Structure 1
């Protein structure tokens, strides 16, 4: 009798000790909101529901467009109806939004346009996942309060190696918005091709735009300045900032094909890989380029690369101009020359009121802390993350494992990358934990957020793009937005299923973690 009673008490204690936040029913939203409560009742959404906008007309217009596109539901601005969707401004919310669904009303409240937009996104996701009854979308009466964990929630796309074009980029921006990601880092220049029109130097695209990773003579492919402006506008509508990357002083082969007088040479494997670090004409040339690029992007941020320069700086130690520069500036080695170059080009951006962004090789450079952001990418060099934080740089975390989306998703895949046998499955993306890096309490505010990077050496077509991006983009979203205590991989997988239906409807060639053979891994043939 005693043992039975003891067992019962132990069972009840264990039951009531469960984390209620995780154990309770979750709203069908990715990323999972901060707090949520399911009340009794439901809201029935049909074409008789009216939209009431006290504020935020742009977000109301977006809701109308997406309700028609995703749900086939027209939504008109009509106040004199019995059921309404209301979007309004409240000043007591610092960030984020509240979403309150009741029997006859849906209310989205936010202090600013960004919060209102994310409230709209959550409503659309709930509607997309809901059941239909008599031609009406049935929304459970959720009460949600939500705000992001990290300010920087990013995706980087490399279009130098393979060019995808405006419609594919817009499709990616649509999905970034759907997952509340807010930063599109656009890698537009590298060794294989230069992809952004510069009017002062037209050969950058007409010559430097020729070729890609596998076909050096492929026709020139690039974005005109008008196309750039359209993509920036489209992203802004979705609360996404666009940050261009103009890589230097390495990864410059495409630019040097167009204007070889600015080449600093390269190596046998990486010819004409660098810009010349000791010619004043090179600095003037690059400054003009950056001036044009700055005019196209209102983010006031530009990424200048700064990575892997040693792959192709073998001519520098033999160049009389470089040796003279080292003597005059008291530089001791090639890393000093590299940093000198980067600091000068950063000064150009500062004159345009831009922040300079750089890969973690620049964590040791002498750059102003309030105008610089470092991207830690070398997962095998944790000391670079520590150095960036020690030197006071705001830092974006994007380690190869698990945030390089060109890495394999499962062990038997053949055509992506691995690092010492490691790859980047969906679960590894989802379970990434910043706490594992032992960041000091006083340095935590320097971590701006997390970004995933899609390098495209092995991504020659849209099928492979889709296969590598979806659904890992959804796992990334929950890592960067949701609080740790709300995260649960099994429950994420339950919520993910309806998103795969959305990918299918949009004809994406996505990876299906529930049925890995649903879409076989696309072959990459260089």
Structure 2
């Protein structure tokens, strides 16, 4: 029995050692090793920015330490003899703006990067390490790590639909906080669609006062929207966290809210999708939308605008009998509605280009002819790999956001009744999000450099309160972060869920109504069952 006992003991010890040597951060760093000792965080901490350009990052770290741990930075010039010093400094030679190194010892930590983005990522790694500790009085003893890190993808995104349900500034800021914590850096903001228009446009005030009325479940809900001052505030908040905000002004479909406000530009729809399109046969439509895009561009400095371009065929039947569209088709030699759609999109893209912005759009626009250097395609139709292939073959850069596994309005557990499933019942588990790899998509082979990154999308048809948002987003946002940051060869789901456990404690502290992967019955689904057939796929 002794040899068996020793074998078991050795296995347990090895497992324990392995766990100790796995960095507890999400997303998992590229390289990490446990260093000797612990760094003490308390009110004696001193933050030093070696470069004046990094002073705002030092301020950010100071605020986060105080907010998260009630740790105030020691007065400058008066640190105690045993002060912990956290140094932020510029490095050289790394062209990846997100890359950083973190070196820790008992005396403090040094975060080094060639770019401010990298310093910011290093700060969030340090914050996560601190969050994984238990406070002792007013201090925390943070195990020391040496980390060299850089992401797999430059684009690590999340899309939020606020047309179908409006969440408001406070909730959006909370989402941005969690994105930053997990090193996600692109916030795609779906602000216009059939249920409601959420972006103030000064030249066309009825877009919000009339088009902002209603949501997916209540067409008479009071108008809800963001003023331009709100937008500036949120964009500035995101910028402080190195998150770019990309607005979406959906066209030529999903235009019902706008058409309620300004019916002169209505291109018609169907009984199921009334007033669904803008009218491509009216010259005034192009000027109207150009005015909207011009104001939008002044509010969002990311240098790109998402123009939608999806699902136009759901409501463009009226184009066949519209006299203006018929004249357009004859004048331009267009043979069908799809060619009209592409013509419309190319004109509106030209407007965006004139504003010195790139165009983003859903994968339906791969059929159009747009300059590859100024166009980004979001591949969402997982069942249409030919659309991705067409976009890549044409030379477009792409962001991968396939419904399976990256649509977070899909349910995440076999027992869930609210939310979407795919045609034969597929849904998006935590594991499927985590294990996503572009290498498993045949169309990507040979085009890897055109893949900017990945993005999850949260459509809000099934959301009627913020609790439901939390339930769909957490903890899948952490799995998304690791899928976007960490190389597939370094990912291990079983190891990840061990690192996930302390994250759930953070969700508790933040009063989030999250899905508990380890105890699924802990938080039941929030919301009401929705007719799946009512969804636009």
TM-score range, shorter chain: over 0.9
2:417, 2:529 within 8 Å by CA — same for their partners in 1?
A: no
1:94 maps to: 95
1:246 maps to: 249
Distance (whole Å) between structure 2 residues aligned to residue 41 and residue 249 of structure 1: 60
Taking a change above 3 Å as real, the CA distance of residues 261 and 30 of structure 1, as seen in their structure-2 partners, is same
Q: How does 1:48-447 map to 2 (within 5 A)?
A: 48-55=44-51, 56-76=54-74, 78=76, 80-81=79-80, 82=82, 83-95=84-96, 96-133=99-136, 135-420=138-423, 421-439=425-443, 441-447=445-451
Distance (whole Å) between structure 2 residues aligned to residue 46 and residue 402 of structure 1: 42
1:22, 1:487 within 8 Å by CA — same for their partners in 2?
A: no
Q: Secondary structure at the match of 2:74?
A: coil
1:450 maps to: 454
Please state how far the C-alpha of 1:135 moved relative to its aligned partner: 4.2
Q: Secondary structure at the match of 1:131?
A: coil
CA RMSD in angstroms comes to 2.0
Give TM-score scaled by structure 1 length: 0.94
Please state how far the C-alpha of 1:387 moved relative to its aligned partner: 1.0
1:59, 1:117 within 8 Å by CA — same for their partners in 2?
A: yes
1:6 maps to: none
Please state how far the C-alpha of 1:485 moved relative to its aligned partner: 2.1
Distance (whole Å) between structure 1 residues aligned to residue 258 and residue 442 of structure 2: 41
Distance (whole Å) between structure 1 residues aligned to residue 88 and residue 396 of structure 2: 38
1:301, 1:355 within 8 Å by CA — same for their partners in 2?
A: yes
Q: Secondary structure at the match of 1:267?
A: coil
Q: Which moved more, 1:235-244 or 1:437-446?
A: 437-446
Give TM-score scaled by structure 2 length: 0.93
Q: Which moved more, 1:227-236 or 1:63-72?
A: 63-72
Q: Secondary structure at the match of 1:127?
A: helix
Q: Secondary structure at the match of 2:329?
A: helix
Aligned residues: 513
Distance (whole Å) between structure 2 residues aligned to residue 94 and residue 141 of structure 1: 27
Q: Secondary structure at the match of 1:315?
A: helix
Taking a change above 3 Å as real, the CA distance of residues 34 and 415 of structure 1, as seen in their structure-2 partners, is same
1:22, 1:488 within 8 Å by CA — same for their partners in 2?
A: no
1:51, 1:78 within 8 Å by CA — same for their partners in 2?
A: no
1:263, 1:274 within 8 Å by CA — same for their partners in 2?
A: yes
Unaligned runs of 5+ in 1: 1-10
2:197, 2:212 within 8 Å by CA — same for their partners in 1?
A: yes
Distance (whole Å) between structure 2 residues aligned to residue 47 and residue 401 of structure 1: 47
1:487 maps to: 491
Q: How does 1:481-520 map to 2 (within 5 A)?
A: 481-520=485-524
Q: Alpha-carbon deviations, 1:375-406, whole Å to 9, x = none? A: 00001111111111111100000000110000
Q: Secondary structure at the match of 2:111?
A: strand
1:47 maps to: 43
2:267, 2:277 within 8 Å by CA — same for their partners in 1?
A: yes
Q: Alpha-carbon deviations, 1:221-274, whole Å to 9, x = none? A: 000000000000000000000000000000000000000000010011011100
Distance (whole Å) between structure 2 residues aligned to residue 364 and residue 217 of structure 1: 37
Q: Secondary structure at the match of 1:341?
A: helix
Distance (whole Å) between structure 2 residues aligned to residue 250 and residue 523 of structure 1: 28
Please state how far the C-alpha of 1:76 moved relative to its aligned partner: 3.3
